[in-house]
């Protein structure tokens, strides 16, 4: 009985032991066609246009989460840190993320180091097909419970990511 009470207390408190985990994708995902540009990365040294296939050449990760904007399931994609390292932004002090609807948000190096972000390219193994929210999402799986419980703002979770810029 005492164990049940403790579990219920943790659930009601949104205990961090229930935070979504980011894990490697172990089963190969079906290949995607190269397609057009889905993300532009601007570093101090230049600009790179990336397709979905380009992004998925980086190590794929997955996490099962529910977003504050109504999407839930197992998201697959790449770590934000891996993307930044691959395209010359690992050492920048700040990045700016720009969405297709004009939403813009910035993240400091410290904010990004505190919780791993993930650029989701798929939901349940399929490319994100919601035209209003896809094809890329920036999600923060370890923050899921805090966001859903209203203890953390959901503004850091960005749908329709189109561009990432780095500032030294």
Asked, for residue 5, whether it belongs to a domain, the answer is no
Asked, for residue 51, whether it belongs to a domain, the answer is yes
Work out how many domains the chain is built from and give that number: 1
Asked, for residue 79, whether it belongs to a domain, the answer is yes
- Global pTM? 0.85
- Residue 19's nearest CA partner among 146, 164, 166, 153 is 146
Strand-strand pairing, 94-99 and 104-108: antiparallel
Task: Write out pLDDT tens, residues 50-97.
Answer: 999 999 999 999 999 999 888 999 999 999 999 999 999 988 999 999
Asked, for residue 131, whether it belongs to a domain, the answer is yes
* Host domain of residue 116: 17-27+35-167
**Coil/strand/helix, residue 110:** helix
Asked, for residue 9, whether it belongs to a domain, the answer is no
Asked, for residue 4, whether it belongs to a domain, the answer is no
Asked, for residue 149, whether it belongs to a domain, the answer is yes
CATH value at residue 75: 3.90.420.10
C-alpha 88/C-alpha 19 separation (Å) is 30
CB 62 within 8 A of CB 23: yes
Task: Write out pLDDT tens, residues 87-114.
Answer: 999 889 999 999 999 999 999 988 888 8
* CA-angle at 32, arms to 76 and 78, nearest 5°: 30
Asked, for residue 103, whether it belongs to a domain, the answer is yes
Place of tokens 């503004």: 155
């Amino acid at each position: 009985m005492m164990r049940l009470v403790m579990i219920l207390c943790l659930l009601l408190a949104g205990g961090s032991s229930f935070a979504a985990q980011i894990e490697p994708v172990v089963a190969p995902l079906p290949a995607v066609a190269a397609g057009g540009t889905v993300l532009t990365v601007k570093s101090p040294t230049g600009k790179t246009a990336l397709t979905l296939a380009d992004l998925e050449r980086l190590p794929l990760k997955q996490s099962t989460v529910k977003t504050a904007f109504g999407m839930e399931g197992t998201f697959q994609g790449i770590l934000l840190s891996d993307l930044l390292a691959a395209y010359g932004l690992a050492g920048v002090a700040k990045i700016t993320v720009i969405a297709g609807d004009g939403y813009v948000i910035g993240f400091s190096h410290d904010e990004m180091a505190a919780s791993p972000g993930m650029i989701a390219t798929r939901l349940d193994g399929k490319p994100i097909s919601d035209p209003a929210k896809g094809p890329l999402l920036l999600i923060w799986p370890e923050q899921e419970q805090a966001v859903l419980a209203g203890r953390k703002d959901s503004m850091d979770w960005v749908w329709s990511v189109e561009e990432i810029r780095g500032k030294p």
